[in-house]
């Protein structure tokens, strides 16, 4: 008979319980979810054994939401309600989106981000992405047999703050705890680097369905240091399809197309492009609803000719990234190819010509990003195994700045700064007696505000009236490890402060998220309540374990009094931990967190001192 186990007081029953964490590649065309199983990163397949989930969602008039292959099957019969490549709309206004005229959707140009009108009402790209993420979460929980601790979600390295924020919001909406937003080429570098024990300077050339990234990384002794990154967040395989689509229309001299026919020809264009990867010529045939018939042959030669400007467009950012890294092409040890679109032979050739070396294709370009993300997720969740001491140092892709007089941008944090990073800059008033200051935060490389992306506007009020130029306003930008920005402004003489998480002007604001969450909760009824409670309990349990283990290691850093205080906070949390009062759990967690702030600082100090000990300190 099995005996029930009882753990020692103060110790959790399973101190090294494996936490369920996944990496999610939320792609323009396809998405994947992967996890680390017995030390190996593996992609989780669906019940039919298929690794990919087409990033397609359908909001049919029957009220059903379909995601993946099921939705994809309807893309030409119900194009308006079947949303494909939604990633291209994330954090984007209508004016930002190319080829709108060829899309079958009914767009609503809401403030900040475009929306889509479907049979199930107006949908934000964040909601559509959330539906895709939810399908992946469910696949993972089914396959792993438990609730996820969290996920690492990948984003194109060249995504700006608005696009990152939108992605994080989508995950929140899908009930996923985001451990980290990870740049796609960096994820690929982790998977490649760890697999091949690579050392040296690598370029990751990542051409996906809708985005292009180029990252230059230094791999040395388990440290993945991104030196520079560049790209184009609106350039990908889709654009190659579009060129073929335009060519078909031109060659067949077609009359104006219905949405259904347009979608059909876009599918044929993509199939032809993919066929050309292995063959010299691709047949394109289609019978349109208008009764017209398309019967063409696309040769590699023609394909290369109509798409060569797109190939060329990837080389500009590549040059720039190399220049930012202070390197020339011949200093690159290897080029890792990522993204389905890199299968195109002319891409392979262009990359080979540019770098003067054959690109590395020994990984599945569709899976490598998800595998790298899973590896990172496993580590962040606390499942660090012996030897897992690699470290990732990433950068922000675009400069962050603030608008000054005359519509000019003052850069506060330059692109390619290693994150997390904080930088402060002082500004002053323009007029005598000025008591408020409007701050406009922008992202981009250009000098004029109008050429950069607006991230947020906020006001600092209550500046004491002084003569022009006398006030000292210190504006601090902090970018966290997810690459997300928060800004604080502080008047130095009075200490008056204003703070903003840079969200409202492009992401969804908190109210919108809350109401969307509510909506999804009413569908899933009280299940959502129990889930939230369970999440709080898991979170609290983790905090208890973390503090207990910190006390076990480093109690000597606290005075008797301090220790008693921490222990009393700990006891209070343990007392409410298993109850169903979520507010009490949150309150006790907050108190314990506050009560251990100084302890955490001292522990870090000690850890830094130990890192430095043994280093030789030269005579000063």
Write out the catalytic residue numbers.
Answer: 25, 87, 184, 206
392 binds another protein (CB under 8 A): yes
| Minimum distance from residue 322 beta carbon to another protein (Å) | 11
The answer to whether 607 contacts another protein (rule: CB under 8 A) is yes
Rounded Cα–Cα distance for residues 93 and 409 (Å): 21
- Asked whether position 608 contacts another protein by CB under 8 A, the answer is yes
Instruction: Kindly state the DSSP code that residue 375 receives in the 8-state scheme.
Output: H
Angle at which helix 510-524 crosses helix 125-144, to 10 degrees, equals 50
**Binding segment toward another protein, per CB under 8 A, in 27-35, 202-210, 275-283, 319-327:** 319-327
30 vs 157: CA distance, rounded Å: 18
Residue the block writes with tokens 């984003």: 155
Q: What would the x/- binding string for another protein be over residues 329 to 348, using CB under 8 A?
A: --------------------
Least distance in angstroms from the C-beta of 272 to another protein: 28
Tokens of 509: 């604001």
296 binding another protein? (CB under 8 A)? no
Task: Give the closest residue to 29 by CA, choosing from 236, 280, 308.
Answer: 236
Taking each helix axis from N to C terminus, what angle separates 345-355 and 300-313, rounded to the nearest 10 degrees? Answer: 50
Token pair 């309600």: residue: 81
The residue within the footprint of another protein, chosen from 379, 449, 452, 455 (CB under 8 A), is 379
* Site for another protein contains 600 (CB under 8 A): yes
Residue 481 dihedral angles phi and psi, to the nearest 5° = -70, -15
For another protein (CB under 8 A), the number of binding residues is 66
Output the six-digit token pair for 458: 């906020």
Rule CB under 8 A: is residue 87 a binding residue for another protein? Answer: no
Among 538, 550, 584, 591, binds another protein (CB under 8 A): 550
Q: Which of residues 416 and 505 has its CB atom nearest to another protein in the complex?
A: 416
Please report how close the Cβ of residue 191 comes to another protein at its closest, in angstroms: 16
**Does the footprint of another protein cover residue 583 (CB under 8 A)?**
no
Smallest gap from Cβ 291 to another protein, in A, equals 43
Q: Where are the alpha helices (DSSP H) in 460-556?
A: 510-524, 527-554
Q: Which is nearer to another protein, 235 or 498 (CB)?
A: 235
Which of the 8 DSSP states describes residue 12? -
Q: Which residues contact 430 (CB under 8 A, 6 or more apart)?
A: 405, 468
Considering the complex, state which of residue 123 and residue 180 has its C-beta at the smaller distance from another protein: 180
Q: How far is the CB of 50 from another protein (least distance, A)?
A: 31
CB of 160 to another protein, least distance (A): 16
Query: Residues 376, 429, 443, 454: which binds another protein (CB under 8 A)?
Result: 376
Q: Which of 19, 37, 565, 572 binds another protein (CB under 8 A)?
A: 19
The binder of another protein chosen from 9, 556, 561, 583 (CB under 8 A):
556
424 binds another protein (CB under 8 A): no
Does residue 577 belong to the site contacting another protein (CB under 8 A)?
A: no
Q: Find the Cα–Cα–Cα–Cα dihedral 581, 584, 589, 590, rounded to 10°.
A: 140
589, exposed or middle or buried, with CB in 10 Å at 0-12, 13-18, 19+? buried
Tokens representing 400 are: 């962050």
Q: Which of 44, 412, 543, 551 binds another protein (CB under 8 A)?
A: 543
Q: With binding defined as CB under 8 A, does residue 563 bind another protein? A: no
**Contact between 33 and 140 (Cβ < 8 Å):** yes
In 10 A of CB 586, how many CB atoms?
14
223 binds another protein (CB under 8 A): yes
Q: Any idea which residue has 């590395």 for tokens?
A: 360
Angle at the Cα of 593 from the Cα atoms of 591 and 599, rounded to 5 degrees: 120
Q: Is 502 in the site for another protein (CB under 8 A)?
A: no
Q: How far is the CB of 46 from another protein (least distance, A)?
A: 29
The 8-class DSSP code of residue 448 comes to: B
Point out which span in 100-108, 247-255, 453-461, 557-565 binds another protein (CB under 8 A). 557-565
Supply the minimum distance, in Å, between the C-beta of residue 184 and another protein: 17
Structure tokens at 589: 């967690």
24's enclosing H/E stretch is: strand 21-26
Binding region for another protein (CB under 8 A) out of 32-40, 68-76, 240-248, 477-485: 477-485
Is 16 among the residues that bind another protein (CB under 8 A)?
no
Q: Which is nearer to another protein, 221 or 583 (CB)?
A: 221
Question: Would you count residue 422 as binding another protein (CB under 8 A)?
Answer: yes
Judged by CB under 8 A, the stretch of 51-59, 92-100, 111-119, 555-563 that binds another protein is 555-563
DSSP state of 106: E
DSSP state of 561: H
- The answer to whether residues 415 and 124 touch, using CB atoms and an 8 Å cutoff, is no
Give the ranges where 122-236 is alpha helix by DSSP (H): 125-144, 161-173, 184-196
Which of 42-50, 56-64, 274-282, 541-549 is the region at the interface with another protein (rule: CB under 8 A)?
541-549
The correct pick among 292, 445, 512, 586 for binding another protein (CB under 8 A) is 445
Determine if 557 is a binding residue for another protein (CB under 8 A): yes
Q: Which residue, 271 or 562, is less far from another protein as judged by CB?
A: 562
As a whole number of angstroms, the distance between CA 620 and CA 614 comes to: 17
Q: List C-alpha distances in Å: 441 to 155, 427, 458, 549.
A: 22, 13, 8, 41
Cα–Cα distance for residue pair 268/257, rounded to 1 Å: 14
CA angle 190-415-328, nearest 5°?
Answer: 65
Question: What residues contact 42, with CB distance under 8 A and at least 6 apart?
Answer: 34, 35, 36, 371, 374
Structure-token pair, residue 437: 């200051």
Q: Which lies closer to another protein via its Cβ, residue 5 or residue 559?
A: 559
Taking CB under 8 A as the rule, does residue 558 contact another protein? yes
Residue 549 structure tokens: 């283990």
For residue 203, state whether it binds another protein (rule: CB under 8 A).
Answer: no
Per CB under 8 A, 386 contacts another protein: no
Our finding on whether 320 is near another protein (CB under 8 A) is yes
Structure tokens at 453: 């992306």
Q: Is 559 in the site for another protein (CB under 8 A)?
A: yes
Nearer to another protein, 214 or 360 (CB): 214
Residues 227-286 that bind another protein (CB under 8 A): 232
* 309 in contact with another protein (CB under 8 A): no
Judged by the rule CB under 8 A, the positions of this chain that interact with another protein are 19, 179-180, 221, 223, 232, 313, 315-317, 319-320, 323, 376, 379-382, 389, 391-393, 417-422, 445, 478, 480-481, 542-543, 546-547, 550, 556-559, 592-594, 596-605, 607-612, 615-620
């Amino acid at each position: 008979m099995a005996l029930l186990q009882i753990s020692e007081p103060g110790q959790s029953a399973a101190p090294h319980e494996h936490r369920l964490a996944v990496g999610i590649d939320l792609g323009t065309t396809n998405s994947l979810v992967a996890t680390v199983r017995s030390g190996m990163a593996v992609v989780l397949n669906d019940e039919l054994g298929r690794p990919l989930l087409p990033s397609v969602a359908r909001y049919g008039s029957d009220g059903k939401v379909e995601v993946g292959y099921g939705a994809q099957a309807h893309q030409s019969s119900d194009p308006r309600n079947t949303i494909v490549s939604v990633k291209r709309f994330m954090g984007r206004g209508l004016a930002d989106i190319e080829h709108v005229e060829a899309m079958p959707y009914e767009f609503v140009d809401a403030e900040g981000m475009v929306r889509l009108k479907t049979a199930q009402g107006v949908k934000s790209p964040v909601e559509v992405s959330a539906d895709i993420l939810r399908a992946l979460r469910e696949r993972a929980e089914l396959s792993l047999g438990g609730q996820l601790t969290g996920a690492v979600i990948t984003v194109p390295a060249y995504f700006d703050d608005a696009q990152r924020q939108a992605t994080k919001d989508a995950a929140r909406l899908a009930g996923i705890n985001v451990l980290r937003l990870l740049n796609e080429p960096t994820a690929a570098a982790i998977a490649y680097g760890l697999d091949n024990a690579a050392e040296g300077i690598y370029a990751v050339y990542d051409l996906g369905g809708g985005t292009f990234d180029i990252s230059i990384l230094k791999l040395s002794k388990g440290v993945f240091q991104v030196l520079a990154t560049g790209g184009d967040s609106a350039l990908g395989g889709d654009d190659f399809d579009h060129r073929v689509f335009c060519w078909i229309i031109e060659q067949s001299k077609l009359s104006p197309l219905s949405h259904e026919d347009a979608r059909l020809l876009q599918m044929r264009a993509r199939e032809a492009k993919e066929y050309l990867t292995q063959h010299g010529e691709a047949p394109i045939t289609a019978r349109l609803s208008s009764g017209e018939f398309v019967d063409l042959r696309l040769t590699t030669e023609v394909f290369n000719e109509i798409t060569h400007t797109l190939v060329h467009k990837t080389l500009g950012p590549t040059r720039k990234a190399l220049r930012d890294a202070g390197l020339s092409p011949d200093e690159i040890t290897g080029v890792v190819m990522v993204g389905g679109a890199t299968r195109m032979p002319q891409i392979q050739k262009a990359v080979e010509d540019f770098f003067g070396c054959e690109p590395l294709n020994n990984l599945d370009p569709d899976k490598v990003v998800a595998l790298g993300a899973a590896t990172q997720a496993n580590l962040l969740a606390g499942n660090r195994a012996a030897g897992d001491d690699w470290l990732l140092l990433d950068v922000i892709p675009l400069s962050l700045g603030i608008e000054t007089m005359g519509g000019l941008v003052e850069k506060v944090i330059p692109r390619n700064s290693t994150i997390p990073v904080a930088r402060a800059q002082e500004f002053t008033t323009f007029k005598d007696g000025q008591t408020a200051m409007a701050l406009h935060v922008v992202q981009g490389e250009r000098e004029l505000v109008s050429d950069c992306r607006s991230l947020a506007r906020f006001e600092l009020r209550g500046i004491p009236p002084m003569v022009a130029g006398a006030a000292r306003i210190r504006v601090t930008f902090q970018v966290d490890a997810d690459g997300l920005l928060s800004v604080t402004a502080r008047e130095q003489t009075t200490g008056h402060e204003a703070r903003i998480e840079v969200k409202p002007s492009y992401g969804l604001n908190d109210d919108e998220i809350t109401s969307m969450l509510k909506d999804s909760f009413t569908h899933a009824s009280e299940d959502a309540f129990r889930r939230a409670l369970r999440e709080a309990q898991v979170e609290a349990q983790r905090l208890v374990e973390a503090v207990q283990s910190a006390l076990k290691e480093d109690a000597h850093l606290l005075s008797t009094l301090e220790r008693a205080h921490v222990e009393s906070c700990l006891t209070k949390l343990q007392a409410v931990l298993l109850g169903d009062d979520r507010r009490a759990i949150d309150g006790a967690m907050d108190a314990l967190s506050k009560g251990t702030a100084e302890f955490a600082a001292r522990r870090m100090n000690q850890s830094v001192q130990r890192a430095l000990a043994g280093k030789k300190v030269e005579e000063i």
